[in-house]
Amino acid sequence: MSVTIPIGGMTCAACVRRVEKAVGKLDGVQAVSVNLATEKATVDYDPQTVRLPQIKQAIEKAGYQALDNQAPDAAAQDRERRRRAIRTLWLKFTVAAVFTLPLLYVAMVPMIGAAIPYPAFLEPMDHPLTHALAEVILVAPVIGVGYRFYTVGFKNLFHLSPSMDSLIAIGTGAAVVYSAVGVGRIAAGQPDAVEQLYFETAGVIISLILLGKSLEAVSKGRTGEAIKRLMRLAPKTAFVILDGQEQELPVADVEVGDLIVVKPGGQVPVDGVVVDGHTAIDESMLTGESIPVEKAPGDPVYAATLSATGSIRCRATKVGSDTALAQIIRLVEEAQGSKAPIAALADRVSGVFVPVVCAVALAAGLAWLIGGESLAFALQVFISVLVIACPCALGLATPTAIMVGTGKGAENGILIKSGEALERACQVTAVVLDKTGTVTEGHPTLTDLTAWGNFTPDQVLHLAASAEAASEHPLGAAIVEAAKAKGLALAAVDGFAAVPGRGIGAQVDGHTVAAGNRAYLDQLGIAVDTAAAGAAAALQQEGKTPMFVAVDGTLAGLVAVADVVKASSASAIGRLQAKGLEVVMLTGDAAATARAIADQVGVDRVVAEVLPADKAAQVADLQRAGGVVAMVGDGINDAPALAQADVGIAIGSGTDVAMESADVVLMRSDLTEVPTAIELSRRTIRNIKQNLFWAFGYNVVGIPVAAGLLHLFGGPLLSPVIAAAAMSLSSVSVLTNALRLKRFRPSA
C-alpha cells in the first residue's frame, strides 16, 4: 500500500534524510521518499505490519508535523497552508528588516566616520552602555521573529540530527552570546568591550535568511503551478436532468448514469458519452491540442473540457476521482513527488553535510585562534562557515526541476509518471514504434477507387458498400464508411453470402454484385484483364489491400483499403532521427505491407510478421545490443513490450491514463509528442545537472573561503553578513534555474 503524507517543518535536505530515516526503520515500511520541494513523503508499507498512525507518529517524533492527507479538501488545505506560510515569512522578514536597518545604523556609522549624522547620546566611546543597550533593544525583535531557527535548530542538534536551522542557530547564537558577554563587561566597567559587539551580525543574518526563505517559498509555489491550473479547471457545478427537470447540482453530487446538460460556452462537469446534440469541444487542457474536436452522439467527452458552439446532453460514465482530469492530476502529483536516480549523490551528501560543516567551522575557528588571531576573529570565521553552508540548495536541486518538468509535460499532453522515467527517457538511443494505431490510424480506410466500362466510381462504391453492409469484415466496414461519407444511400440486399478469405456476393438493386480478391473472381469465372491485375499488384506494393468489384459477371471496378499513415507520423519520426535516435517499426503485418508503410514515414529498420507475444523479445534483443530502448504503442497488445522497454510510452490513451505498463502516457493519438517528451526529458535532466553543479560547487568553494582560505594568502576575510547573503542566493538561484523550464517549447 502507498500513501502520500504532507509534512510541515522541513527546511533543508538534512530534514529530508531525517524523516526518511525515522520512517524507514519502521517494520513493514518497504520504501520511503521525501520531497523537499513538495514537502510530502511517499511511503510504501504493509498495512498488516504497520499502520498509518504509526508512520505519522514516527514523523512527529522526528520533529516535524504529519499533516492531514485524508480530508476531502486536503489539496485546498495544503494550498492554503502554503499561502499562510508565505504571508508569515514576508511578515517576519518585514519586522526583521524594520529593526535591522536602524541596528546597522547604530552599529556601523561610528566605524564609517563623522560624515553621517549620529546621535551624541549613542556614541560608543562616550556612552558605551547606552550604545550597547540600544543594540540589544533593536536586535531583540529580530531574534524574536527568527525564534524558529533556535527552537528547531537546537532541538535537531540535541537529537544528533542537525539541520540548516541548527547552523543558523549556532552561528547567530554564538554572535549574540559573545555580544551579551561584552554588554556585561561594559556594565562591569570595561568600556573597551563596546568594540566587541556583533549584534548587527546576528540581526542581518536572520533578516537575510528570512528574505531568502520568503523568496524560496514563493518560487517553490511557482514550481507547482501546473497542478494548480489543472485543479482550477475542474467545474464546481453541473446541470443534471432529474425527474424531467434541469437542476444545477454540485459536481460532487453527480453520479454515474446521470444525464448531464452542457450548454454553449460551458464546461463538461464529468466524463461521459454524448447522447444528444452536436458541438465542438476544446480539449486542450487534456491533450495540449488547441483545435476544438467535433462531438456527436456516441462520442466521449471529458471533465473540464469546454463546449464551444453547441448544446449537448451526455450520460455520465466517470465521476470524482475516476475522471481523466483527476487521474492526470494524481499522475502528475506522484511524478512530482518522486526522485530521479541522479539525486542519489545529493541524498548521500546531505545525510552527513550539516555535521561535517559544524566540524569544519569549529576546526577553522580553533585553528585561527591557535594561530594567534583574536577570539573575535575566530568567532567571525566560525559564524561565516556555519552561515554560508547551504544544504537547501542540495535538497532543492532535483525535485524543483522534476516538478516544473513534469508540470510542463502535463501542459503539453505528456504525462511522465516518475522522476526515474524522466531520467531514463533522457538516455534513450532507440525508439521502437508499433505500426497499427501508432504510426497508422489503426483502422482500415478506403484509399483508392477505380471504375471500368460503363460504371462510374460512385456507382461502384454504392453497389460495393451496399453488399458489404451485411458483412462484419473490417475491410467491408471501411467501404461502407466511405460511401456514407460521400452521402450515398445504401440499397437493400438479398442473398448475401460470404466466402471466408476470398470475398462476398449479394443481390443489390437487381444486380449480382461480387467483391473480393483475384482468387474469388477466378472461382466465379469472372475475367480479370491484365490492366486490372497490374493495378491491383501496384496497390499491394503500396501496402494496400485491393478488392475487385464485379457486377452481373463483369469486372466493374477496383477498390483498395489500407490502414493509412497518420498525418503527423512522418514529421515526428524525422524529429526523432534528427535527435540521433534509431527508429524501428515493429508490426505483425506482412513484410511487403510493413515496408511500404515504412517508406512513407522514413523508417529505415522494419521488423515485420511479429506476433504480439514476441514484441517484448524484440525489444529485449535491442537492449542486449546495448541500446536504451523506448517502446511506443497503444498500451493494449503492446503491454508486454511497453513493460520490457527502458521507457514505455503509451500513445493516445486519454481515457486510461493510469495504464500500468507505460512510464509515459501521451494524451494525443499521434506521434507528435514522442520527440517532445524525449526533448523535455533531456532539458529537465540538464537543468538538474546544472542545479547540482551549482549546489555542490557553491558549497565546495564557499566553505573554504568562509574558513579564511583567501585570508591565509593575504586576501580578505569573508564577513558573516556576506556569507548569509550568499547562502540565501544559493537556494533562490537553484529555484530560479528550475523555473526556466517553464519557458520550454518543443523544437519544430
Which DSSP string corresponds to 259-295? Answer: EEEE-TTPBP-SEEEEEE--EEEE-HHHH---S-EEE
The predicted-structure confidence for 676-712, as pLDDT tens digits, reads as follows: 999 999 999 999 899 888 888 888 888 999 999 998 8
Active-site hit among 271, 434, 563, 634: 434
Q: Is the pLDDT of residue 544 over 70?
A: yes
Query: For residue 430, what are the β-bridge partners?
Result: 582, 629
pLDDT band, residue 513 (cuts 50/70/90): very high
**Exposed e or buried b for every residue in 547-572, given b needs 16+ CB within 10 A?**
bbbbbeeebbbbbbbbbbbbebbbbb
297 versus 14: the higher-pLDDT residue is: 297
Distance from C-alpha of 198 to C-alpha of 6, rounded to nearest angstrom? 39
Q: Is the pLDDT of residue 112 over 80?
A: no
Quote the mean pLDDT of the chain: 85
Q: Is the pLDDT of residue 634 over 60?
A: yes
Distance from C-alpha of 422 to C-alpha of 721, rounded to nearest angstrom? 39
pLDDT band, residue 515 (cuts 50/70/90): very high
Q: Which amino acid is at 245?
A: Q
Average pLDDT estimate for 510-535: 89
Q: Provide the 8-state DSSP code for 240.
A: E
pTM: predicted TM-score of the whole model, two decimal places: 0.75
The highest-confidence range among 5-9, 21-25, 281-285, by mean pLDDT, is: 21-25
3-state secondary structure 412-457: CCEEECCHHHHHHHHCCCEEEEEHHHHHECCCCEEEEEEECCCCCH
335 versus 594: the higher-pLDDT residue is: 594
Q: Is the pLDDT of residue 528 over 70?
A: yes
Q: Is the pLDDT of residue 657 over 60?
A: no
Tell me the helix, strand and coil percentages in the chain, rounded to 5: 55, 20, 30
With CA atoms as reference, report the closest residue to 728 among 58, 9, 12, 52. Answer: 12
Mean pLDDT check: name the lowest of 264-278, 615-629, 728-742: 728-742
Answer yes or no: 458 catalytic.
Answer: no
Query: For residue 506, what are the β-bridge partners?
Result: 513
The per-residue pLDDT for 45 is 92
Q: Alpha helices, DSSP H only, in 62-163?
A: 74-112, 128-145, 147-158
515 versus 411: the higher-pLDDT residue is: 515
The per-residue pLDDT for 76 is 66
341 versus 132: the higher-pLDDT residue is: 132
Q: What percentage of residues in the chain have a pLDDT greater than 70?
A: 93
Distance from C-alpha of 234 to C-alpha of 725, rounded to nearest angstrom? 42
Average pLDDT estimate for 209-226: 75
Cβ count within 10 A of residue 116:
10
Are the CB atoms for 596 and 564 separated by under 8 Å?
A: no
Q: Is the pLDDT of residue 250 over 70?
A: yes
Distance from C-alpha of 675 to C-alpha of 570, rounded to nearest angstrom? 12
Q: Is the pLDDT of residue 575 over 90?
A: yes
